Amino acid sequence: MSGHWLIRRIATSALVLFVALAVNFAIPRLMPGSPVDLLAGGAKLSTEAREALVTRFGLDASLGEQFWRYLLGAAQGDLGLSFAYFPRPVRELVAQALPWTLLVILSSLVLQVLIGYFAGVASAWNAGSRTDTVLSTVSLVFFSTPLFWVAMVLLYVFGFQLGWLPLGGAYTIGAAYTSLFARVGDIVSHAVLPVVSLTLAQYAAYQLILRNNLIGVRKEQYVLIAEAKGLSDAKVKHKHAARNALLPVVTFLGLSFAMSVGGAVFVESVFSYPGIGKLMYDSVVSRDYPTLQGCFLVFALVVVAGNFLVDVAYRFLDPRIQYAS
């Protein structure tokens, strides 16, 4: 049973990736202007050199053949050559950037869940009270405020004005570290602002989900019994009720990946953080189309992989669910 489910799930993921590839392939060819200009215009050489590039990129072949070659290339990790850093392969640029993005996204997801959890529990336990209103309004305001603007303001306050945290980058360039600890500290201090900005903009959903869920749970019998037994309030909260929050949170984690990669583009741009988001922003600025599209693919991959892991985790956590085959 479970094997069947897994195969099905892997096939779905593969299909999504295939669609992402197809979309990626189609976009430059659907846009106004010839794909030759867009895909080979980056290296502004002579006309002969241009022709040579057209041949090199295979733009003279039929569409079907081009797509087949594109898929084969992508399967081998070949994402083409960057225009802006020609002739560096997009794969190399992306590989350098990906760990930083994962660092920011994953740290932020952990923080989002933690903040969302505490705020959600506090709201639910005091539903309708002033605490609930304040917490819910605050999260809603953060949710409605443009992420890049929150990031700009944080950069201004903590970077420019107070000088507490670095203004950008992921680590001090060319630094001689006295210890491993110093190195980790350097990386952490650079990641603080990006992670905090991303977290502020996106924790609201967790709070809301938990709040709505726990208000229901609270009314359930066993919580009442626990209270009657005279367990301390905090113990009841965190031992019994919040355990029920696990599944909705895990469910939402999948959606969170898609939101977080979007957010990464903004925070990394504002803080010059050298991840995929910044690479994508830079490619927009320099109209480095192959890199731009490479970034999109990697983001799609991150989202699909994230969703897949979440689904597996969900199944692992909730034995009640029987997946129909």
Partner 1 sequence: MKRQEKWLRLWRRFSRRKTAVFGLCVVGVFIVATLLAPVIVPYGPSDRAGEPFEAPSSSHWLGTNDIGVDVFSELVYASRISLLVGLVAAGVIVLVGTTVGLIAGYFGGYVDEALMRVTDLVLILPRLPLMIVMAAYLGPSIWTIVLVYSVVGWASLARQIRAQVLSIRESSFIEASRALGAGKGQIITDHVLPNVIGIVLANGVMEIMFAILAESGLSFLGLGDPTHKSWGVMLYFAQLQGAFLRGAWWWIFPPGLCIAALACAFNFVGTALNDVLSFSEARQ
Partner 2 sequence: MRWRALWLGVVLAAGCIESNPNRLNIGWSESPQAGMNPFLARNEGDYLFLGLVYEPLCMPMLDGSIEPWLAKSWDLDEAQKQWTLHLDERATWSDGEPLTAEDVKFTFEAAYENDFALGSTSKAFVESIEAVDAHTVRFQMKGDFAAFLPIAGGTLIMPEHIWSRVEDIALEQNPVPVGSGPFVVREFQPRAFLHAVRNESYWRKDVDIEEIVIRVFMNLEAEVAAFKAGELDLMPDLSGSESLIPPLEEDDNIEVLIDRAPHVLYLAANHRIAPWGDREFRQAIDLAVNKRAVLETSLAGYGEMPLMGYVPPVVTKWANTALTWRGAEMSDGERIETANALLDDLNFLRGKDSVRIGPEGEPLSFTISTITYPSYIRAAELIKESFAEIGIDARVSVSDPESLYGGIVFSGKRPLDWDLLVHGSMMNPDPDHFAREFAPEPPNPWDNAVAIGWENEEIQSLLRASRKEMDAARRLEMVMRVQELFAEELPVITLAHRTHPAAYRTDKFTGWTHHPVHYGGMVHPLGSIINLLSVEPKE
Q: Are 269 and 278 in contact (CB under 8 A)?
A: yes
Give every CB contact of residue 247 below 8 A, 6+ residues apart in sequence: 314, 317, 318
184 binds partner 2 (CB under 8 A): yes
- Distance, in Å, from the CA atom of 75 to the CA atom of 145, rounded to the nearest integer, reads 39
178 binds, among partner 1, partner 2, none (CB under 5 to 8 A by kind): partner 2
- In the bound state with partner 2, the residue whose beta carbon lies nearer, of 45 and 224, is 45
Site for partner 1 in 221-260 (CB under 8 A): 258
Q: How far is the CB of 149 from partner 1 (least distance, A)?
A: 4
Dist CA 318 CA 325 (whole Å): 17
Token duo for residue 257 = 């990946």
Q: Which of 10, 285, 305, 312 binds partner 2 (CB under 8 A)?
A: 285
When asked if residue 96 is in the footprint of partner 2 (CB under 8 A), the reply is yes
CA 1 centroid distance within chain: 32
CB 84 within 8 A of CB 288: yes
SS3 per residue for 103-159: HHHHHHHHHHHHHHHHHHHHHHHCCCCHHHHHHHHHHHHHHHCCHHHHHHHHHHHHH
C-alpha span between 13 and 254 (Å, rounded): 13
C-alpha torsion angle, residues 113, 114, 115, 116 (rounded to 10): 40
Q: How far is the CB of 50 from partner 2 (least distance, A)?
A: 9
Look at residue 141 and give the partner it binds from partner 2, partner 1, none, a contact being a CB closer than 5 to 8 Å depending on partner kind. Answer: partner 1
Per CB under 8 A, the list member of 13, 66, 244, 286 interacting with partner 2 is: 286
From the list partner 1, partner 2, none, pick the one residue 322 interacts with, judged by a Cβ distance below 5 to 8 Å according to partner type. Answer: none
Q: Which stretches of the chain bind partner 2, using CB under 8 A?
A: 33-34, 37-38, 41-49, 81, 84-88, 93, 96, 155, 159-160, 163, 167-169, 172-179, 181-186, 188-189, 269-272, 274, 278-279, 281-282, 285-287
Residues within the interface to partner 1 (CB under 8 A):
15-16, 19-20, 23-24, 27-28, 31-32, 38, 137, 140-141, 143-149, 152-153, 155-156, 160, 258, 261-263, 265-266, 269, 280-281, 283-285, 287, 289, 292-293, 295-296, 299-300, 302-304, 307
